[in-house]
Amino acid sequence: MARAVVLGVDSSTQSTKVLTIDVETSDVMAEGRAPHSGADIQDPAEWWNALLEAVHQATAGPFQVIGLAVAGQQHGCVTLDAAGQTVRPAPLWNNVAAAPDAERLNAAADFPAAVGSRLVASFTIAKLAHLARTAPDELARTAAVCLPHDWLNFRLTGELATDRGEASGSGWWSPREGRDRRDLLALAIGAETAERVRLPVVRGAVEPAGALLAAAAAELGLPAGIPVGPGTGDNMAAALGVGAAPGELVVSLGTSGTAFAVSDIATADETGEVAGFADATGRFMPLACMLNCTRVVDTIAAMLGIERAEALERAGAVAPGAGGLLLLPYLAGERTPNLPTATGTITGLTAATATPDLLLRAAVDGVAAGLAYCVEALARLGVTAPAITLTGGGSAHPTWRHAIADATGLPVTVRAGGEHAARGAAMQAAAIVRGESIDAVVARWRPAVTAVAPPRLERREAFALDARRRMIAAAREAGSGR
């Protein structure tokens, strides 16, 4: 007899991952994966084609799929015409072209008070302002706007629907008020356009986005009419996937690096370093994000002609501090701290430190120090915890685990499962098909601890956190940031 399963989808910057999970036992039965281009502007058709491939891989067994939900990369901007077709390729969260537009909007309104976050280039509303400034003809053709996972919901169900977590990354939806702020959208694209453009409907935590369309079901090889969850942003889904509860701190290591917590209280940070998001349970999620995370090591590894696994092994064999070699890893600008035009910086380069292994170690140290900066930004708002739960692809390697523990001075815990964002999406689908609360499913599916990395406090000084802060201040003074 076929096992009843739900599908959890994680559509990220680099790829689409799908987990097939037994709805009763929470066991992972199968999985699939398909790549995206990885560029910071992508054709949404990439995401659909990757979803098809990953779903086909994940459903090859004798399964009865009874529901699914999609987690997606936050912030990106998808524009649709009156026929529901994309107007242009979508700029993603890590595209920083909208940095001046974000600053213009910040000057026009108090965004932290209005939506919990000071705008940076990542936010969808800033990308719409950039579109209005640089391609007004394309804005005139735009009948609807949404974020990447919302677009996948639209393809799956025909409904333009989202959830609180994803909506809170738009810049026009207020987590505290629970409503769209079209007055803010008017600042970006004009009052007339702001009134006419269609926005995603914000669903509750276990309120379906809709039912799977027959045409989409045929392409995916799934039963038509099964419920599709509202989905959420990837960080919100990862919080579900690791079973995060209020009072816990999570750090995610992927293309971007994030530090966040589930909170019962909405936050607003005037500095802009902490975004005051909503989560996928009805609570809130203060979050600090680095644009440059595991790909920093990947970039150095590619330069050296080696694979990621070898690079991390070699970096892990070198003591923190890299012999005095210090790297600020801002290879694509940066969001926290807000330095959208910054570039990577290396200091301490001498004949003695000019070695591949020290450069790899400096890359790991730079990312770990950047995430420690994010943890400190959360602490300034009173968001603290005695330990960190690590998630994302980087969490699987001990080099990253020990570096994060050492740089933050906090013990690091890793939980089973690996693909926690996809797992979190599956939890949402399971709650819907079983008629349970999301909190009940999270408590029941919370994965077991598989690894713990205690901080080596004597090594924290090697990450040169004070020296890095001075370098960040100098970059701001030079005009690299706002």
**Burial class of residue 470, CB neighbours in 10 A (0-12, 13-18, 19+):** exposed
Low-confidence residues of the chain: pLDDT under 50 = 480-482
Percent of the chain at pLDDT exceeding 90: 93
pLDDT score at 481: 42
pLDDT score at 480: 47
Interacting residues of 477 by C-beta distance below 8 A, sequence separation 6+: none
279 is catalytic: no
Q: Is 337 a member of any domain?
A: no
Q: Is 286 a member of any domain?
A: no
Please report, for the domain that includes residue 148, its CATH number. Answer: 3.30.420.40
Q: Is 71 a member of any domain?
A: yes
Q: Is 27 a member of any domain?
A: yes
Q: Is 79 a member of any domain?
A: yes
Mean pLDDT of the chain: 95
Q: Summarize pLDDT for 330-343 with one digit per residue, the tens.
A: 998 898 998 988 99
Q: Which long-range contacts (CB under 8 A, 24 or more apart) does 309-317 make?
A: 309/397, 311/360, 312/360, 312/364, 312/397, 312/399, 312/400, 313/399, 314/356, 314/357, 314/360, 315/357, 315/360, 315/361, 315/363, 315/364, 315/399, 316/364, 316/397, 316/398, 316/399, 316/402, 317/357
Q: Residue 338 to residues 49, 202, 241, 330, 425: CA-CA distances in angstroms?
A: 34, 29, 29, 11, 30
Q: Is 292 a member of any domain?
A: no
Q: Summarize pLDDT for 387-440 with one digit per residue, the tens.
A: 999 998 899 999 999 999 999 999 999 999 889 999 999 999 999 999 999 999
DSSP-assigned letters across all residues of 192-248 = HHHHHSB--EEE-TT--SEE--HHHHHHHT--TT-EE---EEHHHHHHHHHT--TT-
Instruction: Give the domain range for residue 214.
Output: 3-232
Number of separate domains in the chain:
1
Q: Is 94 a member of any domain?
A: yes
Q: Is 78 a member of any domain?
A: yes
Q: Among residues 180, 234, 279, 406, which one is catalytic?
A: 234
